[in-house]
Structure 1
Amino acid sequence: MSLLEGFLLVFVGVFAGFVNSIAGGGSLLIMPLLIFMGLPSAEANGTNRVAIFIQNIFSVAGYRSKGVYVFPFAIYVAIPAIIGAIIGSNIAVDISDQVFNRILAIVMIVIMSISVFKPAMKLNPEELLSKSKVWTSVIAFFFLGIYGGFIQAGIGFLIIATLTSIHGFNMAKTNSIKVFVILCYTLAAVIVFYLEGKIRWEYGLVLALGNSIGAWIGSRWSVGKSDRMIRTILSVMVVALSIKLWFF
């Protein structure tokens, strides 16, 4: 890895870590960069997980430093996500990159339109975490874990859509749960990719430096900001990344 490549990884990593902590889609920037630097797709996927894992340690710490966390609910949904991620990390899907990217672009637009543009839910605190809603999320996060373990890209959008649709959490709490769950299941994914020899540690650790800086800044910056502002950023990211997925 050259000095220029290292600088580029840190620079892009800061931006990716920032958007991952408040919305999602950072992996859609990092994956093409790693492939452009000569890593095979599988190694780029595995290497990116190292940065994602370390990044989310800082994201979780950033939200907790502002007093934003939802426990034990976050643990309840993290456990099925871990199981799903182990399955997803071992799945080989015979589908072209172009077809997959276009499907993902459509899914992102449809799901996020429900989350971003639907009216805010007015629920009592007891209703937010009712038994039926918790079990619905437990099941949903198992499948989210499979997807996250398999490809990662766009998982943040899907988790945000799931949590806001089922529970009506504000964006700060939603993101705090999101980064905790991703932290947990990514550890499982890293182990799988490591055992398969699909991680380039020198790239992953340098990338993690940038991601971690961006994640710390983003997680702390987003607390106290209006849901409208965060949802606007989220909408812009969804549209921009969907266009990228469809045409490039």
Structure 2
Amino acid sequence: MEYTIWVYLVLLAAGFLAGIINTLAGNGSILTITALSVAVGLPVGMANGTNRVGVTFQTLVGLRAFLKSGKTDFKGVWKIAIPTVIGSAFGAYVAVEVGKSNDIWLSRAIGGVMIFMLFLVLNNPKKWVEENKNRKELGLPWLFPIFLAVGFYGGFIQAGVGVIMLVVLMSVTSYNLTNANAVKLLLTLLLTIPAFTIFIWNGQVEWIAGLTLSVSQMLGAMWAAKFAIGHPKANYWIRAILIGIIIIAIIRFLGIYDFISEQIVSLL
């Protein structure tokens, strides 16, 4: 694969913006997967695996910040960590097998997830999370299958798992919002490890693209933290950008662009 200066610029820009989006809103993987697939030209399965490189580094940076604050409590997290890791490994395995057998099906699956993500973003789940304070933690028989499903989703397609995880944590556990954010990062790291390993084992990672994204993602995350402090309306701008990116991803992964192009060509 030939990496031109323009490909590097696209990767750096996509990673930087994804780092900002992940820090201020979430769902930045939508941008990186789209960039890897469209600009770099990676098959959807490899784009899905390569995306985990930046996610791993960025999650480590975020988790380190929470641990340094000394205000987090991971008591009892094992109850949800174990099913999350198991689900992640299974989800990554299914993603690899689907990608091997028919890359189009994986592309359509990601497109379907993008529609779901658009629904979540338009309905502002974080506002719902902040208002959902009167809740009781569910017992282990309920927590296990719920986080098994969350882990499967994260292993299969990383995009949007942070938002989904935060909503689930604030719905079925007793963590407050601050702790839920820290636990979300820990679970994201834990589910990324087995999934990432499976993608590497199956040759589904393009390291040059992944490491390029990871560097700019970390820089974007650091810049976003400062930006959020100085600009209280930053989330509104990021949300608007995110909606646009999701719509582009839907058009790309559901094959809408290809379909329209074929119709135009047939009419000419």
What TM-score bracket applies, with the shorter chain setting the length? Answer: 0.7 to 0.9
- TM-aligned CA distance change 1:70 to 1:8, over 3 Å: farther
Task: Name the residue aligned to 1:115.
Answer: 125
CA–CA distance in structure 1, aligned partners of residues 228 and 77 of structure 2: 19
CA–CA distance in structure 1, aligned partners of residues 83 and 237 of structure 2: 29
Cα distance per residue 1:112-167 (max 9 Å; x no partner): 638345471344xxx66x4x256644432211111111111121221122122334
> What residue ranges of structure 2 are gaps of 5+ in the alignment?
253-268
Task: Name the residue aligned to 1:13.
Answer: 15
CA–CA distance in structure 1, aligned partners of residues 235 and 141 of structure 2: 26
Q: State the superposition RMSD in angstroms.
A: 3.3
CA contact (8 A) 2:33 2:47 kept: yes
Residue from 31, 46, 69 that aligns with 2:33: 31
Instruction: Using structure 2 for the length normalisation, give the TM-score.
Output: 0.73
Letter in 1 for 2:182: S
Letter in 1 for 2:74: F
Residue from 203, 206, 210 that aligns with 1:204: 210
> What residue ranges of structure 1 are gaps of 5+ in the alignment?
none
Structure 2 residue matching 1:25: 3-state secondary structure: coil
Instruction: Using structure 1 for the length normalisation, give the TM-score.
Output: 0.78
Task: Name the residue aligned to 1:63.
Answer: 66
Residue from 195, 198, 218 that aligns with 1:192: 198
Percent identity, aligned pairs only? 26
Residue from 138, 142, 150 that aligns with 1:144: 150
Structure 1 residue matching 2:27: 3-state secondary structure: coil
1:125-136 equivalences in 2 (<5 Å): 130=137, 132=138, 136=142
Residue 217 (structure 1) shift: 4.6
Greater CA deviation, 199-208 or 110-119? 110-119
Task: Name the residue aligned to 1:88.
Answer: 91
Q: Which has the larger radius of gyration?
A: 2
CA–CA distance in structure 1, aligned partners of residues 207 and 141 of structure 2: 37
